[in-house]
Amino acid sequence: MNIVVCVKYVPDSTADRQFESDNTVDRVGVDGLLSELDEYAVEQALQLKEKNEGTTVTALCVGPEKAVDAVRKALQMGADQGILVTDEAIAGSDYVATSLVLAKAIEKAGSENKVDLVMCGMASTDASGSVVPAMLAERLDLPQVTFASVVETQGDQVRIKRDSDTATEVIGATMPLVMSVTDQTGEARYPSFKGIMAAKKKPLETWSLSDIGVDAGEVGLSVAWTEVTETTARPPRTAGEIVKDEDGSGATALTEFLVSKKFI
Amino acid sequence: MSEVLVVVDHVDGAIRKPTFELLTLARRLGEASAVFFGSSDKGAEAATKLGQLGAEKVYVVDDTEIKGYLVAPKAEALAQLVEKTSPAAVLFVSGYEGKEVAARLAIKTGSGIITDAVDVEEGGVVTQAAFAGNYTVKGKVTKGVPLITVKPNSAPVEEVGAAGTVEEFAATISDAAKKAQIVAQQPRKASGRPELTEAAIVVSGGRGTGGNFEPVEGLADALGAAVGASRAAVDSGWMPHTFQVGQTGKVVSPQLYVANGISGAIQHRAGMQTSKTIVAVNKDEEAPIFELVDFGVVGDLHSVLPAATEEINKRKG
């Protein structure tokens, strides 16, 4: 089985994330890492590899040069090889352009050995749009089984369980397909010391836009399908009233507050 | 005036409230037309309500052939409807399906997409909350037909009494779109409480409940609220994942959010920070959740909540 798992390099969500003057996400001034939600996709890819002999897992990332860290992390966890697509022209790309770059890279990655499964996390921890997996499926003309909380495969048959807003569903499809997984699929493994050492010898390629046949004029901030006109730090919430509960005073104060705001 | 398509989110004909909020937003951009996937009977029934709340037209797309499949067929049908109507925008409810149908439609029609909007203004300016609600971002779609997915509770529902004229739309669906099949579907058991994402009030519990959600549920019922849980409570197996509020669970923005025994980690804040009024009850006065609150009680939820519940029920008479 040939699996490509898409991994995103994102600003650390516990750091002080910010925007650049051109309203794009600051991906350089803030420490970055492999998006936590993509670790679950790497984990599921590795579990499939363990179950299916002869499986190759390729970690694919689109981002600035520093984003190679996200690919390395996936290699340390156990992916077999890595690809970073990086090009100055990509900076500021929105979902539509990013999905184009990923799709073209996946096509190139599968040019000799067709890709059976494209794995993604349920969302990135920065933009959290959750739309790129479906866009990839559309571009690659593949079915999608997304937001999986449980993944089951048998040969090329895939079944996933997912919790939508109103129902729990089981979705079935045949590979090749695009899958996205949630954190409910199970803890992602930590890289072992052995894994970290082994990762240093794993193939890691860097591709530019011309390597994957994408014209620089098709991507980037200047041709984005959407425009961010304004980013404003939310004013800190004005300090609320905090009371200490003493002999039941907390409950009365809470009730009074809710009444004053007309919630009761 | 151009049409603005609103994709109706419904369960077997029962329209979910966020759809009505979309109609309000759609009328700011043009003439609201609802798109209903379902049988013609259910469509006709839905049209009455959709008309009342702002839809001039209701396109009914027969779903007999496609309802067993995920996302792709609806995107195909919508692409054909977009082609026919050249709308000023298409609005979706921000959920798994809405986002992904919009995503496929974006590629099919060469259109830009904005997700998780909390407001849409005249002229198509869209407001989003970014970085766990620490930033407010305004933007616009600049290419193709603006595709916007909107979070629940982003606009009021308005009674306007529009026509709600039904128009059947026959879409052609390719076999390629019918590959991800819904093998089984189990509707969520009705809890008697409002649905988490659409609720006006949410009362949540976390690690501090110690696994006992009774005080949380009691207060929720006194306030007519939905019950939520933090990731810690879900990971401990105290509540099912469907109750989780946070980055990997439900993102809510109710009028009132009451966090009980929840420390307020970034993952949780990402799911509730845009709530209008925030209240917390926590034993630890250093808990970061207190930085967010309009009102906080430093105390034990196991005594504060039952006492508050009793007082509230008394006041309600």
Which residues in chain B have their CB less than 8 angstroms from residue A227's CB? 139-142
Q: Report phi then psi at B38, rounded to 5.
A: 170, -170
- Measured CA to CA, the distance from residue A216 to residue A208 in angstroms comes to 10
Mutation target vs B (from A36, A38, A131; most B CBs, 10 A cutoff): A131
Contact B106/A225, CB-based, under 8 Å?
yes
C-alpha dihedral (B193, B197, B199, B204), degrees to nearest 10: 70
Q: Which segments of A164-208 are extended strands (E)? A: 167-174, 177-181, 204-207
User: Which residues 76-95 in chain A show a CB within 8 A of chain B?
Assistant: 94-95
B3-177 and B201-316 agree in CATH topology = yes
Contact B311/A251, CB-based, under 8 Å?
yes
List C-alpha distances in Å: A114 to A201, A213, B72. Answer: 24, 18, 22
A251 touching chain B per CB within 8 A: yes
pLDDT digits (tens, 9 = 90+) for B270-292: 899 889 999 999 999 999 999 98
Contact A226/B71, CB-based, under 8 Å?
no
Which residues in chain B have their CB less than 8 angstroms from residue A39's CB? none
A54 touching chain B per CB within 8 A: no
* Partner-chain residue, chosen from A231, A240, A254, that has the shortest CB–CB distance to B308: A254
Under 8 Å CB-to-CB from A153, ≥6 apart: which residues?
A48, A51, A52, A159
pLDDT tens-place values along chain A, 264 residues long? 999 999 999 998 888 888 988 989 988 888 899 999 999 999 999 999 999 999 999 999 999 999 999 999 999 999 999 999 999 999 999 999 999 999 999 999 999 999 999 999 999 988 889 999 999 999 999 999 999 999 999 999 999 999 988 899 999 999 999 999 999 999 999 999 999 999 999 999 999 999 999 999 999 999 999 999 999 998 877 778 999 999 889 999 999 999 999 999
Per-domain residue ranges of chain B:
3-177, 201-316
B70 touching chain A per CB within 8 A: yes
What is the value of ipTM here, to two decimals? 0.94
Identify the bridge partners of residue B148 per DSSP, sorted by sequence position: B91, B114
Domains of chain A: 2-223 (3.40.50.620)
Contact B70/A171, CB-based, under 8 Å?
yes
Q: Is the model's pLDDT at B77 over the cut of 90?
A: yes
Per-residue confidence (pLDDT) for residue B189, from 0 to 100: 79
What mean pLDDT is predicted for residues B153-178? 96
B201-316: CATH topology is: Rossmann fold (3.40.50)
Contact B294/A129, CB-based, under 8 Å?
no
Q: Give me the CATH code for the B3-177 domain, please.
A: 3.40.50.620
Contact A172/B188, CB-based, under 8 Å?
no
Q: Which segments of A115-225 are extended strands (E)? A: 117-121, 144-148, 150-154, 157-163, 167-174, 177-181, 204-207
Per-residue confidence (pLDDT) for residue A164, from 0 to 100: 86
Q: Is the model's pLDDT at B190 over the cut of 80?
A: no
List C-alpha distances in Å: B20 to A134, B4, B115, B250. Answer: 26, 14, 18, 20
Query: For residue B272, which amino acid is it?
Result: M
pTM to 2 decimal places: 0.93
A159 touching chain B per CB within 8 A: yes
Under 8 Å CB-to-CB from A75, ≥6 apart: which residues?
A59, A81, A82, A199, A202, A204
Per-position b or e across B22-54, b if 16+ CB within 10 A of its CB: bbbbbbbbbbbbbbbbbbeebbbbbbebbbbbb
User: Which residues 8-67 in chain B show a CB within 8 A of chain A?
Assistant: 11, 16
Per-residue confidence (pLDDT) for residue B7, from 0 to 100: 98
Round the average pLDDT of chain A to a whole number and report it: 95
Percent of chain B with pLDDT over 70: 100
pLDDT digits (tens, 9 = 90+) for B15-30: 999 999 999 999 999 9
* Partner-chain residue, chosen from B133, B256, B296, that has the shortest CB–CB distance to A234: B133
* Partner-chain residue, chosen from A23, A135, A259, that has the shortest CB–CB distance to B106: A135
What mean pLDDT is predicted for residues B191-203? 92
Contact B223/A263, CB-based, under 8 Å?
yes
How many CB pairs below 8 A link A and B?
A: 278
Contact B315/A253, CB-based, under 8 Å?
no
Which residues in chain A have their CB less than 8 angstroms from residue B116's CB? 128-129
Q: Which residue of B has its CA nearest to A130?
A: B99
Give A19's DSSP letter: B
A227 touching chain B per CB within 8 A: yes
- Measured CA to CA, the distance from residue B252 to residue B233 in angstroms comes to 17
* Partner-chain residue, chosen from A23, A171, A224, that has the shortest CB–CB distance to B183: A171
Which residues in chain A have their CB less than 8 angstroms from residue B292's CB? 237, 240
- Determine the 3-state secondary structure of A83 from DSSP: strand
List C-alpha distances in Å: B165 to B27, B77, B162. Answer: 16, 19, 9
Contact A145/B70, CB-based, under 8 Å?
yes
pLDDT digits (tens, 9 = 90+) for B78-125: 999 999 999 999 999 999 999 999 999 999 999 999 999 999 999 999
pLDDT digits (tens, 9 = 90+) for A194-231: 999 999 999 999 999 999 999 999 999 999 999 999 99
What mean pLDDT is predicted for residues B31-40? 97
